[in-house]
Amino acid sequence: MEKYTLIITEKPSAAQRVAKALDHKEKPKKIEEKGVPYFVAHRGEKKLVVAPALGHLYTIVQTQGKRNYYPIFNFKWAPRYVAERGAKQIRAWIEVFSKLARDADQFIGACDYDLEGSLIGYCILKYACGNKEAAAKRMKFSTLMKSELEKSYEEPLPQLDFALIETGKTRHEVDWLYGINLSRALTLAAKRWSGRYATLSTGRVQGPTLRFLVGREKAIRCFVPTPYWDIKAMVEIEGSRYEAEYKRKEIEKKVEADTVVEKCRRKIGEIEKINVKNFRQMPPIPFDLGKLQTEAYSLFRYTPRRTAGIAERLYLNALISYPRTSSQKLPPIINYRAILKALSKKPAYRKLASELLEKEALKPREGTKEDPAHPAVYPTGNLPTRALSEPEKKVWDLIVRRFMAVFGEPGIKQSMRVCIKVNDHRFYLHGRQILKEGWMHFYKPYIRAEEVLLPPLKEGEKIRLKQVTREDKFTKPPPRYNPSSLLKKMEEEGIGTKATRADIIETLYSRRYVTDERIVVTDLGIDVFNTLQKHCPEVISVEFTRGLEEKMEQVQSGNEKRENILIDAVNQLKPLLEEFKQKEETIGQTLSNAIKRARMQERIIGNCPNCGTGQLTILYSRKTRKRFIGCTNYFKGLCKTSFPLPQRGTAKPLEKNCKSCGWPLVQVRMRGRRPWRLCFNPECPSKEERRKRVEMQNLQQRSDK
C-alpha cells in the first residue's frame, strides 16, 4: 500500500479547499466511505489524503455513576456518540480516520488555528489515529487562499500547538465540571419534587451573564418614572423653519415650564453667540469578531450567533480571513495592495480601490487588541464563485468596505451652536455638517451621520419665534440589553471567549430564561437566578468567572498548570453541591413552581373577551384528546368561551394582534410547511374577505369552463 500524508481539517468544505489548493492539477479525487467524504491529492511525488472532521468528534463523559446523580468529578475524553444520542454518525467518521491512519506515514493538523480547532485535531490524532499527536506537524493559516495554504503546507510548524491544546482542554474540562454538576443539580431538584422532567442549566459563564440581565430587569421593574417638561421653539429664518431647544433640557416643575412658554411665545429673539467647531473623526479600526457582530446587529439586526455563522461560511469560501479572532491589527504581510487590486475587479469597488491604490503608502488605523493566532478580519480579495445569499452579501460587503475605510484619511466635521436670547431666556440651534468625507467615502452606506445645515447667521441678528411648546415627559428606565449589547458587556467584563459568547446568549433563549430581541428576563430566569444567588453565589459571580478566565489564559503562556485549575474547580464545587443537596427539597419546590408558571405563561394568548376574569389559553381536553383555545375558567364551569385549533403541528401565542380585528394571533407550525398565523376570531373581517375571494375565484373558474 502506497504511503501518504494524512491532513486533518475541521469541516468537509475546508478539506475540499485544502485538497484543491495542494493538488498539482487542482483536481483532487473525492472518495466517500460510510458516508464520510475525504479527498486524495498529489503534490509532486507525494500522495496526500485530506480528511475532514465534523466539528468535535470527541467530548467529555463521566467515568462512573448514573445520569441522575451528582456531584460528578471523574471524567474522560470519549467519542461524542458515547455521550450524545443524536451523534451516531460520529462513529463512522472516527472509524474512517482510524482506517486512514494505518497507511499514513506523515500526519498534519490543519484545523482552524484556535482553541477549538487545535483541540479537535489533537483528539483525532491521539484517539482515532493511535497516539500520533506527538509526531504530527501543524499547518497554520488565516485564509483558505491557495497561496497561503501552499505556504502553510510547505512550511508547517514542526509540532502541534500544545499550549493552545492544553488551554482548550482546560476550558472544556472546567466548563464541563461546572455545567454538568450545577445543571444536573437544578434539573434533578425540580424533577424529584414535581415528578416531571424539564431541562434547567447554568454554568461558569452562563450564570454571570444571567446576572447582568436580571440586574437590569429588576432595575426596570422597580423604576418609578418622574415627570419633567421639555420646551422647544420653532424659529423662522429666511422663510424656513428650524427647531431650537431650551437651555435646560429637563424642567422639574410644570409652572416653571409654563412661565417660560408664556414669556417667549411669538417673541423676537436675538442671536447672542455663535460657536463653530471643526473636529477630525478618525477612521474606524479593523473588525475583530466582537466588533463585526456588533456592527452587523446595528445595521442588519443579525444576532451575534447568526453573524458568526455567516462569517464562517464566507471564510470557508475563501472570501474573508478567519473570523474568530480578537485582533484589531492588519499586518503588512497580508499585502494590502494585492487585496485592493483584486477587489477592484468588482465594479462596485473599482473606483474606491483605485483611489486607495493611488496613495504612496497604505497604513491602516489599528486598534489595541492583538491575537497571536490571527489578524483582524479582512477580505482576501477573492470574488464570489457562487451566488451569495442576501445575508452573506451584506456581511461580505460590510467587511470589504470596513477594510478600505481603515486606510482612509480622517474625516472633518463641523458643529455649530447658535444661542438665541429671548427675554433673558436662551434657546439653542444646533447644526452639523461634513466638511471632508475622508474615510466615510469608503464606508458608505454604513455611515450613520445626519447633517443639519443652517443658513448663514451672524451675532446680533433678529430671529422670530413662531411657536413655543411645552412637552410633558417622564424619566425612562435603563434600556434593555439586546443580543449585541449583551455580547459587548460580556467582552468588557472579560467573561467567555470570542467563540463561545454568542452561544451562551442563545442558550439563555433556548432555556426560556429570556425572551424577545430587547431582552426580557422571564419569571423562570429570575427564579433560577435567585436560587443560584441564594445557594451558589460564586457561580454567578463576575469576579470569580473573570479570575478563572485569567488563570486559563496563563495556561497558554505556561505560567499556570491545567491540573491546578481543575483541583481548584473541584474544591470550589464540592461544598456548594453538598449544601445544595441538603436544601434540595426546598430548591426543587421553588424551581418546580417556576417551571409550572412558565409553561402556563407560554400558552396564554390574552384576556377572555366574554367573562373578563379569565385568560384565553391553549388547553387540552382529556375527553376528546384535542387541543383548543379556551378560557382558564372553562374547566371551572364559569365560562364556556372556546375556539378550535388545528390538531396537527405545534401552536403557540405569537404575542401580536390581528390587524383586521385586534384579536391575538397564534402561530401554527407543521412539518414540511412554513409557519403561518391564525386569527381564531370567527367574526374577523379578514375571514369574510377571504371567503368572498374564494367565491369569486370559484365563479371565475366555472365561467372559464
CB 212 within 8 A of CB 206: no
For 199, phi and psi rounded to 5 degrees? -75, 120
Give the cell for residue 31: 472518495
Which of 81, 122, 322, 443 is labelled catalytic? 322
Sheet arrangement for strand 664-669: 650-657, 664-669, 676-679
pLDDT by residue (tens digit) across 176-211?
A: 999 999 999 999 999 999 888 888 899 999 999 999
Q: Over 60: is that where the pLDDT of 705 sits?
A: no
pLDDT by residue (tens digit) across 6-36?
A: 999 999 999 999 999 999 999 999 999 999 9
For the entire predicted model, the pTM comes to 0.87
Domains of the chain plus CATH, in order, are: 4-160 (3.40.50.140), 169-221+479-593 (1.10.460.10), 227-283+411-474 (2.70.20.10), 289-405 (1.10.290.10), 604-693 (no CATH)
In the predicted model, what is the mean pLDDT of the chain? 91
pLDDT band (50, 70, 90) for residue 694: low
DSSP annotation string for 432-480 = EEEEE-TTHHHHTTS-----B------TT-EEEEEEEEEEEEE--PPPP
Q: Over 80: is that where the pLDDT of 1 sits?
A: no
For 271, phi and psi rounded to 5 degrees? -70, 110
Q: Over 60: is that where the pLDDT of 420 sits?
A: yes
For 476, phi and psi rounded to 5 degrees? -110, 150
pLDDT > 70 fraction of the chain, expressed in percent and rounded: 98
CB 481 within 8 A of CB 489: yes
- Mean pLDDT lowest for which of 484-493, 501-510, 548-557? 548-557
pLDDT by residue (tens digit) across 541-592?
A: 999 899 888 999 899 888 999 999 999 999 999 999 998 999 999 999 999 9
Q: Over 60: is that where the pLDDT of 485 sits?
A: yes
- In which element (H, E) is residue 650 found? strand 650-657
CB 619 within 8 A of CB 628: yes
Residue 674 pLDDT: 80
d(CA 365, CA 224): 45
Residue 670 pLDDT: 82
C-alpha to C-alpha distances, 112 to 14, 224, 286, 322, 372, nearest whole angstrom: 9, 50, 21, 8, 13
Residue 701 pLDDT: 66
Residue 197 pLDDT: 87
- Whether 38 is catalytic is no
3-state SS class at 302: coil
Residue 250 pLDDT: 87
pLDDT band (50, 70, 90) for residue 292: very high
**Degrees, nearest 5: CA angle 611-617-618:** 140
Q: What is the mean pLDDT of residues 634-645?
A: 84
d(CA 309, CA 303): 10
Give which of 310, 307, 362 is closest to 338, Cα–Cα.
362
